[in-house]
């Protein structure tokens, strides 16, 4: 769909955190890059807001970008808000009746409410060319993900469903595709013959930040590994693509996820979980997770998760992929690291041995570093590792701007297809079950530390 076709963006849950902090700034960053894009933003929520209060919210979110005056004025002139109890069938129908197509319905709602609204939408006349944009989690396990997909397919076709994963919108996809397929250097070594192991790490120095309502029911595994990090794995490990079309990328990503299984087939041996205790990050004093406001310690929610998987296909069999993410860690570390195998033969005569070469892909801000063994300064017989580094340009808009652009244009390149969403649960369900049954101990780490000792190999990159 051409970018100048007017589209209605109906945000359900417009009074919430996602809308205010991410969606509206995202749309603002899109308007900054594409000022003539025509989009009418309609907000709906049960919160009682006047038209002026809603416009002020949109204006405040735009100011964080900031959006240039002309597109901001145009979007503000068109935007409106409709107080709606979305679980009330009459109110929901009235809301939809007032929206013309092409229409994007963005579910910025708690997942349980989204599911109920989708059920109600079965009895509502949707405008032609209605697309649905959904936030993770897409279901709560493989079974519920399948049921939710079936429910969505009662409303619109799969190519009109956009399961949003903002990691796919942070230039990750394009940077990885360019790095892998736009030069001749990496393609021949991108396989198990040359790569010994891979780590996909998203350690955050943020703690709970008042998000107990969501996070305490999710935990690090559902929040990050089952969703974002498996998507990154999919793009890192996929076969080559013919072009940058949605079908090519979705097909290859889905193939990788279908081939992905827990390392050794054992949830107990392949997974670790931990929770932070009181500590300090910089000057911030962090309470123990169990003492954070809104946390129910009996839920046993993990704040750090690590899972090892294997992609059982010709390219990757035998290579462990470690996925890890957590909160309240001392140093943020958001990287994909490929560790290369040793050279088949190191010429005799060097004073020391060669350390394994590494390729480090920084996810945010984007950068690529090759850490290669070569001659040291001083004695030519001495070897050391040197880093060749390239900074990647920051995304031209916010990650949510990139995903919203695709949704508004009706292009599924950056969304998660139904089969991939189900595969992600299929991979992680056994871990969730093993944790629930207490088969993997809950470890602890002080906030501000690097996490429990010994989780990653000693030579794991620390910068």
Ligand X SMILES: O=C1O[C@H](COP(=O)(O)O)[C@@H](O)[C@H](O)[C@H]1O
CA distance 252 to 230: 13
Q: Are 41 and 4 in contact (CB under 8 A)?
A: no
CA distance 91 to 83: 9
Site string for ligand NDP, 43-62 (x = CB under 6 A): --xxx---------------
DSSP 391: E
327 is in an annotated binding site: yes
User: Contact region for ligand NDP (CB under 6 A) — 74-82, 85-93, 168-176, 330-338?
Assistant: 85-93
- Least distance to ligand NDP, CB of residue 361, Å: 22
Phi, psi values for residue 324, rounded to 5°: -150, 135
CA distance 293 to 349: 61
Among all chains, which residue has been given the structure tokens 């690090």? 220
- With H, G, I as helix, E, B as strand and everything else as coil, classify residue 199: strand
User: Contact region for ligand NDP (CB under 6 A) — 12-20, 51-59, 178-186, 353-361?
Assistant: 12-20
Q: Per CB under 6 A, which of residues 124..183 are in contact with ligand X?
A: 166
Binder of residue 401, out of ligand X, ligand NDP, none (CB less than 5 to 8 A by kind): none
Q: Per CB under 6 A, which of residues 124..143 are in contact with ligand NDP?
A: 135-136
204 is in an annotated binding site: yes
128 is in an annotated binding site: no
Here the tokens at position 442 are 């809950």
357 is in an annotated binding site: no
- Least distance to ligand X, CB of residue 166, Å: 6
Looking only at Cα atoms, what is the longest distance across the chain?
Answer: 82
Q: Per CB under 6 A, which of residues 205..224 are in contact with ligand X?
A: 206, 223
CA distance 174 to 151: 31
Strands (E), 92-155: 103-107, 130-135
Q: Which is nearer to ligand X, 102 or 139 (CB)?
A: 139
136 is in an annotated binding site: yes
| Closest among 23, 62, 63 to 43, alpha carbons compared | 23
How many amino acids of this chain bind ligand NDP (CB under 6 A)? 21
46 is in an annotated binding site: yes
Binding-site member from 1, 60, 85, 193 for ligand NDP (CB under 6 A): 85
Does position 165 interact with ligand NDP (CB under 6 A)? The reply is no
Phi, psi values for residue 333, rounded to 5°: -150, 110
DSSP 158: G
Q: Are 56 and 20 in contact (CB under 8 A)?
A: no
DSSP β-ladder status, 195-203 and 260-262: unpaired
Q: Are 61 and 31 in contact (CB under 8 A)?
A: no
User: Contact region for ligand NDP (CB under 6 A) — 78-86, 255-263, 268-276, 319-327?
Assistant: 78-86
- Least distance to ligand NDP, CB of residue 134, Å: 8
Whether the ω angle into residue 353 lies within 30 degrees of 0, i.e. cis, is no
| Closest among 59, 52, 114 to 81, alpha carbons compared | 52
Phi, psi values for residue 306, rounded to 5°: -140, 130
Q: Is 194 a catalytic residue?
A: no
How many amino acids of this chain bind ligand X (CB under 6 A)? 4
User: Residues 253, 339, 446, CA angle at the centre, nearest 5°?
Assistant: 90
Does position 357 interact with ligand X (CB under 6 A)? The reply is no
- Least distance to ligand X, CB of residue 364, Å: 6
Binding-site member from 141, 204, 406, 419 for ligand X (CB under 6 A): 204
Q: Which is nearer to ligand NDP, 50 or 379 (CB)?
A: 50
Binder of residue 18, out of ligand NDP, ligand X, none (CB less than 5 to 8 A by kind): ligand NDP
Phi, psi values for residue 385, rounded to 5°: -100, 135
Binder of residue 25, out of ligand X, ligand NDP, none (CB less than 5 to 8 A by kind): none
Rg over CA atoms, the chain:
23
310 is in an annotated binding site: no
Q: Which is nearer to ligand X, 5 or 64 (CB)?
A: 64
| Closest among 311, 307, 293 to 202, alpha carbons compared | 307
Phi, psi values for residue 19, rounded to 5°: -60, -50
Binding-site member from 5, 59, 64, 110 for ligand NDP (CB under 6 A): 110
The neighbour count for residue 8, using CB atoms within 10 Å, is 21
Binding-site member from 31, 86, 237, 359 for ligand NDP (CB under 6 A): 86
User: Contact region for ligand NDP (CB under 6 A) — 80-88, 224-232, 303-311, 442-450?
Assistant: 80-88
Instruction: Give CA 334 to chain center in angstroms.
Output: 12
Binder of residue 46, out of ligand NDP, ligand X, none (CB less than 5 to 8 A by kind): ligand NDP
Which of 160, 228, 261, 345 does the annotation list as catalytic? 228
Q: Which is nearer to ligand NDP, 111 or 326 (CB)?
A: 111
86 is in an annotated binding site: yes
So which residues are the catalytic ones?
Answer: 228
Give the interface with ligand NDP as residue ranges (CB under 6 A): 13, 15-18, 22, 45-47, 84-87, 108-111, 113, 135-136, 214
* Binding residue positions for NADP(+): 46, 85-86, 136
Give the interface with ligand X as residue ranges (CB under 6 A): 166, 204, 206, 223
* Binding residue positions for substrate: 166, 204, 223, 327
């Amino acid at each position: 769909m051409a970018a100048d076709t007017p589209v209605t963006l109906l945000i359900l849950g417009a009074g919430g955190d996602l809308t205010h902090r991410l969606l509206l700034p995202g749309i603002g960053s899109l308007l900054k890059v594409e000022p003539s894009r025509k989009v009418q933003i309609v907000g709906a929520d049960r919160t009682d807001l006047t038209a002026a209060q809603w416009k002020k919210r949109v204006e405040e979110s735009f100011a964080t970008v900031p959006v240039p005056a002309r597109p901001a004025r145009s979007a503000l002139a068109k935007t409106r808000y409709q107080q709606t109890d979305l679980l009330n069938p009459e109110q929901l129908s009235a809301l939809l009746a007032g929206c013309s197509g092409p229409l994007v319905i963005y579910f910025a709602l708690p997942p349980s409410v989204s599911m109920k609204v989708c059920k109600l939408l079965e009895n509502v006349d949707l405008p032609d060319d209605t697309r649905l944009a959904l936030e993770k989690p897409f279901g709560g396990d493989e079974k519920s993900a399948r049921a939710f997909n079936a429910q969505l397919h009662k409303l619109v076709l799969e190519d009109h469903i956009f399961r949003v994963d903002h990691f796919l919108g942070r230039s990750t996809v394009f940077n990885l595709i360019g790095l892998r397929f736009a030069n001749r250097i990496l393609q021949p070594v991108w396989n198990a013959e040359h790569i010994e192991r891979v780590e996909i790490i998203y350690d955050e120095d943020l703690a709970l930040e008042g998000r107990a309502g969501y996070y305490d029911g999710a935990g690090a595994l559902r929040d990050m590994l089952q969703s974002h990090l498996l998507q990154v794995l999919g793009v890192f490990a996929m076969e080559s693509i013919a072009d940058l079309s949605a079908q090519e990328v979705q097909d290859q990503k889905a193939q990788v996820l279908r081939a992905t299984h827990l390392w050794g087939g054992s949830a107990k041996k392949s997974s670790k979980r931990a929770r932070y205790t009181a500590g300090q990050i910089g000057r911030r004093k962090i309470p123990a997770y169990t003492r954070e406001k809104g946390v129910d310690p009996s839920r046993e929610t993990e704040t750090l998760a690590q899972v090892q998987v294997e992609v059982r296909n010709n390219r990757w069999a035998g290579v462990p992929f470690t996925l890890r993410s957590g909160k309240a860690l001392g140093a943020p570390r958001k990287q994909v690291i490929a560790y290369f195998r040793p050279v088949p033969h190191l010429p005799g005569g060097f004073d020391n041995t060669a350390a394994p070469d590494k390729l480090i892909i920084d996810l945010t801000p984007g950068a690529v570093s090759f850490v290669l063994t070569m001659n040291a300064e001083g004695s030519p017989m001495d070897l050391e590792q040197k880093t060749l580094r390239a900074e990647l340009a920051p995304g031209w808009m916010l990650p949510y701007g990139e995903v919203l652009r695709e949704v508004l244009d009706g292009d599924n390149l950056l969304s998660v297809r139904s089969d991939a969403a189900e595969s992600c649960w299929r991979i992680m369900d056994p871990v969730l079950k093993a944790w629930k049954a207490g088969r993997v101990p809950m470890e602890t780490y002080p906030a501000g530390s690097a996490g429990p000792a010994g989780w990653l190999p000693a030579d794991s990159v620390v910068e």
